[in-house]
Amino acid sequence: MLDNLGTLGLFVALALVFPLLLIGLPLILRYSGVIPQKPSSVKQDTYECGMKPFRDAWTQFNFHYYTFAILFVVLDVMSVFLFPWAANFVKLSRSDQIDVLVEALVFVLILLIGFLYAWKKKALEWR
């Protein structure tokens, strides 16, 4: 019992020392001059593949990208779930022949209702 607690204490000590070492080492190297610090206006400028940056980076995108992305993710995840189901369909359907199909159909139906709802709300139209 006491041995286990000793291991735990060692672990706690290590868990404290190691992060402090990782945080402290760069600071020591920095202030001892091993890591040179020579900031300049060019170096602190935005990296644009060697080009001079111009204008503002905060350009506006059409908000409709968001709904498209969400719909894509939903259908994407659906296909990810359906692939292993389809690959193992024969093995699964040996025991319960209709259940496996119905379960997948219910899953697709739920997503299909959501998809039809999005379609009805004109999420697929580009305005």
Partner 1 sequence: MPDYDHLILPYSSGDADKDEGLLVNSLIARAQQPIADPDIWLGGVDHGGVVLTSIDAVFGWARSKSLWPMLFGLACCAFEMMAAAGNRWDISRFGMEIFRPSPRQADMMIVAGTLTWKMAPAVRRLYDQMAEPKWVLAMGSCAISGGTFSESYSVVPGVNRILPVDVYVPGCPPRPEGLYHGLMELHQKIQKAGYLKGNVHLPRLD
DSSP 12-62: HHHHHHHHHHHHHHHHHHHHTTSS-----TTTTS--STTSPP-S-S-----
Q: Does 42 bind partner 1 (CB under 8 A)?
A: yes
**Under 8 Å between Cβ of 53 and 45:** yes
Taking the complex as a whole, the smallest distance from the CB of residue 98 to partner 1 amounts, in Å, to 51
Q: Which is nearer to partner 1, 17 or 35 (CB)?
A: 35
Kindly indicate which of the ranges 16-24, 45-53, 80-88, 93-101 contains the residues binding partner 1, using the contact rule CB under 8 A.
Answer: 45-53
Q: Does 33 bind partner 1 (CB under 8 A)?
A: yes
- CA 43 remoteness from chain centre: 30
Taking the complex as a whole, the smallest distance from the CB of residue 54 to partner 1 amounts, in Å, to 6
Nearest to 118 by CA among 81, 79, 75, 62: 75
Looking at 1, 2, 49, 57, which residue binds partner 1 (CB under 8 A)? 49
Q: What are the tokens at 89?
A: 């369909």
Q: Tell me which residues touch partner 1 (CB under 8 A).
A: 33-34, 36-38, 40, 42-43, 45, 47, 49-52, 54-55, 59
